[in-house]
Amino acid sequence: MQTKLDARSATPLYLQLEALLREALAAQTWKAGEALPPERALAEQFGVSRLTLRKALERLEAQGLVRRRQGSGTYVAPRLEQPLSLLTGFSEDMRARGLEPGTRWLKRGLFTATPEEVLALSLSPGEKVARLERVRSAQGEPVAVERAALPAHRLPQPEQVQDSLYAYLEARGLRPARALQRLRAVAASRQEAELLGLRSGEPLLYIERLSYLADGSVLEFTRSHYRGDRYDFVAELLGKQ
Amino acid sequence: MQTKLDARSATPLYLQLEALLREALAAQTWKAGEALPPERALAEQFGVSRLTLRKALERLEAQGLVRRRQGSGTYVAPRLEQPLSLLTGFSEDMRARGLEPGTRWLKRGLFTATPEEVLALSLSPGEKVARLERVRSAQGEPVAVERAALPAHRLPQPEQVQDSLYAYLEARGLRPARALQRLRAVAASRQEAELLGLRSGEPLLYIERLSYLADGSVLEFTRSHYRGDRYDFVAELLGKQ
DNA sequence: AGCTATTATACCACTTGCATACCATTATAG
DNA sequence: CTATAATGGTATGCAAGTGGTATAATAGCT
């Protein structure tokens, strides 16, 4: 255990400081999510310049131990959050797997809602929905057929969506807070088989997703058919207390 | 437990307030569906400005803990998130859906681990595993083929397991803390088709599950094939921040 | 000389928290 | 049905504090 800094030591000050701070963090000196003292105070407390302290903090930030927000403060990083079971769209999902996503549009516009869409999106009969239908691919290979429907007032100009629907929505302040997904195995219909380059009857992973905004309203109703041989869905479950 | 706000703390007030309110919500201070006091009253009660209080409420709303309706009030969000994405076994899962689970045993005993099991369970080659293979049914209809493997020292007498493996483990203090599942659509093999009363080639939902104890060690490695036409897997996803 | 570590200083951009006023929506009394 | 009150939503301004950055200077080392 290192208790203080030694300016004459061969190891640079900022490395000694980094070790000191790491110990303090491990010792729960500050609770998770709580802010550390400001840089200027910490620097004075340890008797070093602010830039030296910042060098140590930068290394701790790179290691994921603290988070810094300009204008706000430096915070103890929250406990390891679930990298899985986070809500992502296809494009993001594929990039996370190191694959390049692609899109071939089948339909993109405003249509009258089907009874199923009326039910899922809590609309009034006859209301319009923005419908986005496309074949999604990874590394040029078709992977899934995706049919998304949103209330028309959420997406008045669906033809503006380019690649990632979620990125487009995010840019307009529409960020889903949670989603419910139902997964089932189904046999490929003739149409789906053709779009995905399979024979009909081959197994597909059918995923039905309802995304909700923070206020509880439904943002998106999406039905996707993924090739069984090209796609894994990963879920993390938590035990009961 | 945080009992009051500290204006001199480096942690911003609205974050402290958010934590306070989250505790109050968890402590059932207000009933589900009930309205919280109006913003102006809450702000005065906590001794902060209304905008600071609103900042805390905004974060709680984004987390789905409260719902706000202009002109009406701020309400405790109904709790429907926990029951999902919780780790359950087949028996419990089926009962939750109002179906009576059943079991037909195919294999139940101690065997030498296969290479795949050695890898998944982090065993040494040649070590023994408890293997449980069975056809699971709901309302008398076969629904899935389930093949579970556990390190032999966790389950030395596998023949004692009756219906629910999870209930048996629970009674012995073995409670999984988390699990990773991979889901894929596959075509039924001849063997699986026969066991489930299908034709081979029909779509099945293949689920691979690794359950972990709180100390990080692997408790169980289970591979299941569910009938695509009889089983939905439901997952809840959370938005980013 | 050239490099690195360290310090000192100043400034910038952003966040926080407050005060005030007003708007939009909803509930309710009459 | 309407008018009113109460609620959440928004906009502005302000001051203090925070992390982010640039520049220059000093010391020690190779």
In the predicted structure, residue A151 carries a pLDDT above the cut 60: yes
CA A2 to chain centre: 39
SS (H, E, C) chain A: CCCCCCCCCCCCHHHHHHHHHHHHHHCCCCCCCCECCCHHHHHHHHCCCHHHHHHHHHHHHHCCCEEEECCCEEEECCCCCCCCCECCCHHHHHHHCCCCEEEEEEEEEEEECCHHHHHHHCCCCCCEEEEEEEEEEECCEEEEEEEEEEECCCCCCHHHCCCCHHHHHHHCCCCCCEEEEEEEEEECCHHHHHHHCCCCCCEEEEEEEEEECCCCCEEEEEEEEEECCCCCEEEEEECCC
DSSP at B53: H
> Are A23 and A2 in contact, with CB atoms under 8 Å apart?
yes
Whether the per-residue pLDDT at A138 is higher than 60: the answer is yes
Domains along the sequence of chain A with CATH: 13-76 (1.10.10.10), 80-234 (3.40.1410.10)
pLDDT for the residue numbered A80: 46
Model pLDDT, residue B82: 41
Query: Cα separation of B205 and B203, whole Å?
Result: 7
**Residue A237: is its pLDDT beyond 80?**
no
Does the pLDDT at position B227 exceed 90?
Answer: yes
Residue A2 pLDDT exceeds 60? no
Per-residue pLDDT at A55 = 92
Tokens standing for A44?
């004075």
pLDDT value for A1: 43
Closest by CA to B93, choosing from B179, B22, B18, B20, is B179
**pLDDT at A14 exceeding the cut of 70:** yes
Q: B52 CA to chain A: closest CA distance, Å?
A: 14
Report the C-alpha gap between A196 and B140 in whole angstroms. 36
pLDDT over 70 percentage in chain B: 91
B200 close contact with A: CB closer than 8 A: no
User: Does residue B104 carry a pLDDT above 90?
Assistant: yes
pLDDT of B81 higher than 50: no
Query: Confidence class of residue A197 from pLDDT cuts 50, 70 and 90?
Result: very high
- Residue B165: count of CB within 10 angstroms of its CB: 23
A87 touches chain B (CB under 8 A): yes
Q: Cβ contacts (< 8 Å) between A202 and chain B: which residues?
A: 187
State which residue has its Cα closest to the C1' atom of D17. A71
**Contact call for A238 and B87, based on CB within 8 A:** yes
Number of H helices, E strands in chain B: 7, 9
Q: Is the CB of A38 under 7 A from strand D?
A: yes
pLDDT in tens, B164-215: 898 898 888 888 888 888 889 999 999 999 999 999 999 999 999 999 887 8
What is the enclosing helix (H) or strand (E) of B96? helix B90-96
| Averaged confidence pLDDT in chain B | 85
- The vertex-A77 CA angle with A52 and A175, nearest 5°, equals 125
Token output for B95? 């009962």
Residue whose Cα is closest to the C1' of D16: A71
For chain A, what percent of residues have pLDDT higher than 90?
A: 32
Whether nucleic acid strand C comes within 7 Å of the CB of A34, the answer is: no
A68 touches strand C (CB under 7 A): no
Residue A75 structure tokens: 């915070």
Give φ, ψ of A16 to 5 degrees: -60, -40
User: Are A233 and B182 within 8 A, CB to CB?
Assistant: yes
Distance A2 CA to D18 C1' (A): 29
Secondary structure (3-state) at B18: helix
Check whether B105 has a pLDDT greater than 50: yes
Confidence of residue B85 (pLDDT cuts 50, 70, 90): low
Query: What pLDDT sits at residue A241?
Result: 46
Distance CA B212, CA B168 (A): 16
- How is B68-81 classified by DSSP, letter by letter? EETTTEEEEPP--S
Chain mean pLDDT for chain A: 84
Q: What percentage of chain A has pLDDT greater than the value 70?
A: 90
Q: Report residue A224 as tokens.
A: 């996707």
E-assigned strand segments in chain B = 66-69, 73-76, 101-112, 128-138, 141-151, 178-187, 203-212, 218-227, 233-238
Angle at alpha carbon of residue B133, lines to B128 and B137, rounded to 5°: 160
**B84 CA to chain A: closest CA distance, Å?**
9
pLDDT band at A15 (very low <50, low <70, confident <90, very high): confident
Give the separation between CA B176 and CA B210, rounded to whole angstroms.
Answer: 10
Burial B168-192 (b: 16+ CB within 10 A, else e): bbeeeebbbbbbbbebbbbbbeeeb
What's the pLDDT at A79? 57
* A134 close to A103: Cβ distance less than 8 angstroms: yes
Q: Which of the nucleotides in strand C have any atom less than 7 Å away from a protein CB atom?
A: 5-10, 13-21, 24-27
Please state which of the ranges A161-175, B46-60, B124-138, B173-187 shows the lowest mean pLDDT: A161-175
Among residues 14-33 of chain A, which lie with CB inside 8 Å of chain B? 33
Asked whether residue B60 carries a pLDDT value surpassing 80, the answer given is yes
Closest Cα to residue B182, out of A98, A183, A87?
A183
Does the pTM exceed 0.95? Answer: no
DSSP B86: B
The answer to whether A39 CB is within 7 Å of strand D is yes
Kind of pairing between the strands at B128-138 and B101-112? antiparallel
Residue of A nearest to B19 (CA): A33
Q: Is nucleic acid strand C under 7 Å from B119's C-beta?
A: no
What residues in A contact B177, CB-CB < 8 Å? 238-239
Position with higher pLDDT, A27 vs A197: A197
**Closest alpha carbon to B211 in B145, B149, B123:** B149
Q: Do B187 and A178 touch (CB under 8 A)?
A: no
**Cβ contact, residue pair A228, B81, below 8 Å:** no
pLDDT at A87: 65
The pLDDT score that the predictor gives to residue B144 is 94
Cβ separation B180–A234 shorter than 8 A? yes
Q: Strands A178-187, B233-238: parallel, antiparallel or unpaired by DSSP?
A: antiparallel
Kindly state whether A187 is in contact with chain B, defined as any CB-CB distance less than 8 angstroms: yes
pLDDT given at position B133: 96
Average of pLDDT values for B218-222? 94
In one-letter notation, the amino acid at residue A20 is L
Inter-chain contact B232–A182, Cβ cutoff 8 Å? yes
| Average pLDDT estimate for A171-199 | 88
